[in-house]
Amino acid sequence: MSVQQVAILLNETIGTISPYLHGEFAEHLGECIYPGIWVGEGSTIPNINGIRQDVVEALRPLEIPVLRWPGGCFADAYHWRDGIGARSQRPLRVNYHWGKAPESNHFGTHEFIEFCRLIGTEPYLVGNVGSGTPSELRDWVEYCNFAGNSSLANERRANGAPEPFGVRFWGVGNENWGCGGNMDPEYYAAEFARFRTFLFDYSDTPIHAIACGAAGNDWHWTWKFLDTLRRKHWNRMHLVQSLAAHYYCGTAGTATQFTEEQWLELLCRAYVMEGIILGHRTTMDELDPDRRIHLIVDEWGAWHPVEPGKPSSGLYQQNTMRDAHVAAITLDVFHRHCDKVYMGNIAQLINVLQSLLLVEEDRCIKTPTYYVWQLYAPHKGGSAVRFESLAERISDGGVSRDHCKSSYLQRSFNGLQCITGSASVKDRTLCVTMTNNHPSRPCEVRLTLVGAQVKEASMAVLVADDIRAHNTFEQPDRVKPSAPRPIPAAGDTLQVEAPAASVIQVLCSLG
Q: Residue 400 has what pLDDT?
A: 34
Q: Residue 411 has what pLDDT?
A: 52
Nearest to 439 by CA among 271, 302, 259: 259
Using pLDDT thresholds of 50, 70 and 90, give the confidence band for residue 392: very low
Q: CA-to-CA distance for 103 and 32, rounded, in angstroms?
A: 12
DSSP 425-458: EETTEEEEEEEE--SS--EEEEEEEES--EEEEE
pLDDT exceeding 90 applies to what percent of the chain? 91
Residue 175 annotated as catalytic: yes
- Flag whether pLDDT at 402 surpasses 60: no
Listed range (166-170, 292-296, 311-315) with the worst mean pLDDT: 311-315
Region of residue 38 (phi > 0: left; psi between -120 and 50: alpha; otherwise: beta)? beta
Q: Residue 405 has what pLDDT?
A: 39
Listed range (89-103, 223-237, 361-375, 390-404) with the worst mean pLDDT: 390-404
Judging by beta carbons within 10 Å of its beta carbon (0-12, 13-18, 19+), is residue 102 exposed, middle or buried? Answer: exposed
Q: CA-to-CA distance for 253 and 262, rounded, in angstroms?
A: 6
Antiparallel, parallel or unpaired: β 101-103 and 122-127: unpaired
- CA torsion angle 319 320 322 324 (round to 10): 70
- Same topology, domains 2-12+383-510 and 18-379? Answer is no
Nearest to 165 by CA among 176, 153, 173, 177: 153
Q: CA-to-CA distance for 431 and 382, rounded, in angstroms?
A: 9
Sequence-separated (6 or more) residues with CB below 8 Å from residue 182: none
Residue 343: strand, helix, or coil: strand
- Flag whether pLDDT at 159 surpasses 60: yes
pTM (predicted TM-score): 0.94
Q: Report the topology of domain 18-379.
A: TIM Barrel (3.20.20)
27, 142, 175, 265: the catalytic one is: 175
Span 19-36, average pLDDT = 98
Find the angle CA(200)-CA(205)-CA(207) to the nearest 5 degrees.
50
Q: CA-to-CA distance for 238 and 254, rounded, in angstroms?
A: 44
Span 25-52, average pLDDT = 98
Does 2.60.40.1180 match the CATH number of domain 2-12+383-510?
Answer: yes
Q: Residue 410 has what pLDDT?
A: 53
Q: Residue 52 has what pLDDT?
A: 98
- Flag whether pLDDT at 404 surpasses 50: no
Span 317-325, average pLDDT = 98
Using pLDDT thresholds of 50, 70 and 90, give the confidence band for residue 401: very low
| Cis-peptide into 488, omega within 30 deg | no
Q: Residue 1 has what pLDDT?
A: 74
Judging by beta carbons within 10 Å of its beta carbon (0-12, 13-18, 19+), is residue 338 exposed, middle or buried? Answer: buried
Nearest to 469 by CA among 335, 368, 353, 355: 368
Sequence-separated (6 or more) residues with CB below 8 Å from residue 475: none
Using pLDDT thresholds of 50, 70 and 90, give the confidence band for residue 140: very high
Residue-range domain boundaries for the chain: 2-12+383-510, 18-379
Q: Residue 511 has what pLDDT?
A: 85
Q: Residue 394 has what pLDDT?
A: 32
Nearest to 342 by CA among 242, 205, 442, 463: 242
Q: CA-to-CA distance for 261 and 253, rounded, in angstroms?
A: 10
Long-range contacts of 35-44 (CB under 8 A, 24+ apart): 35/359, 36/349, 36/350, 36/351, 36/352, 36/357, 36/359, 37/107, 37/115, 37/349, 37/350, 38/106, 38/107, 38/111, 40/106, 44/362
Span 145-161, average pLDDT = 98
Per-residue pLDDT tens digits for 54-98: 999 999 999 999 999 999 999 999 999 999 999 999 999 999 999
- Flag whether pLDDT at 23 surpasses 90: yes
- Flag whether pLDDT at 26 surpasses 80: yes
Q: Which residues pair with 357 in a beta bridge?
A: 350, 366
Q: CA-to-CA distance for 349 and 342, rounded, in angstroms?
A: 19
Residue 24 annotated as catalytic: no
> What is the biggest distance separating any 2 CA atoms in the chain, rounded to whole angstroms?
80
Per-residue pLDDT tens digits for 221-253: 999 999 999 987 678 999 999 999 999 999 999
